[in-house]
Structure 1
Amino acid sequence: MNDQERITDFLNSEKKMSLNYGIFASECVSVPLRDEFLKLINQSHQTQTQLFTTAQSKGWYSPEQAPQDKISQAYTKYSNQQPTV
């Protein structure tokens, strides 16, 4: 496994762990335990950012930039929505 594959694997693992931590936190009855999961989410996001920055700086990860009109459309669409319960 080369460095690019390793970084990609780490990044994908962090994404999955972050999603799971979010599920665990939202379904946790114990407030102190929920708070620990929220800390883990924050740590995972920081790690993801570091991995993303490393991969992007080496040219291994370059997400496509959305055109400004698409960004504006999405912002308008989602900023007008109210949360549902």
Structure 2
Amino acid sequence: MNPQSQKVQNPETNVPKTPQMNERDYVNDQLSTEKYMTASYNVALNEASNQNLYNDLATIFKETQDCQRDMYNLMFKKGWYSLEAADQQKLQQSYQQFSGYKNQLPYGG
């Protein structure tokens, strides 16, 4: 890991440290549920043979995905979710690697 890497995080909102579930636990549980649901709806979308069913599932998928994003944003805002700042050298290496893959595609990139 790069010694200059740093976390991207908001100040953490404190919650009681008790055996009972607290606000953070509830939001984290909901985030996990929304992630599971979007994965499941994705499978259902891939398998739907009826166009009307597909359209309904696509609408529900979008609503569920938006809810998942809202839960993530809430956790990040409250400082319960942190990210690592990207290492610019690693980003450049990945970009070059995948740019090379693009040139190998049948349509010519």
Aligned to 2:90: 70
Aligned to 1:30: 50
Aligned to 1:3: 23
Higher helix share: 1
After TM superposition, the structure 1 stretch with the greater mean CA deviation from structure 2, 27-36 or 58-67, is 58-67
Gaps in structure 1 of 5+ consecutive residues: none
Select the structure of larger CA radius of gyration. Answer: 2
SS in 1 for 2:48: coil
Structure 1 segments, 4+ long, off by >4 Å, are none
Cα distance between partner residues in 2 of 1:35 and 1:68:
40
| Percent sequence identity over aligned pairs | 29
Q: How far 1:78 moved relative to its partner? A: 4.2
After TM superposition, the structure 1 stretch with the greater mean CA deviation from structure 2, 53-62 or 70-79, is 70-79
> Greater relative contact order (Cα 8 A, min sep 6): structure 1 or 2?
2
C-alpha RMSD over aligned residues:
2.0
In structure 2, relative to structure 1, the CA distance for the partners of 1:32 and 1:78 (3 Å cut) is farther
User: TM-score w.r.t. structure 2 length?
Assistant: 0.66
In structure 2, relative to structure 1, the CA distance for the partners of 1:36 and 1:53 (3 Å cut) is same
After TM superposition, the structure 1 stretch with the greater mean CA deviation from structure 2, 72-81 or 12-21, is 72-81
Q: How does 1:9-28 map to 2 (within 5 A)?
A: 9-28=29-48
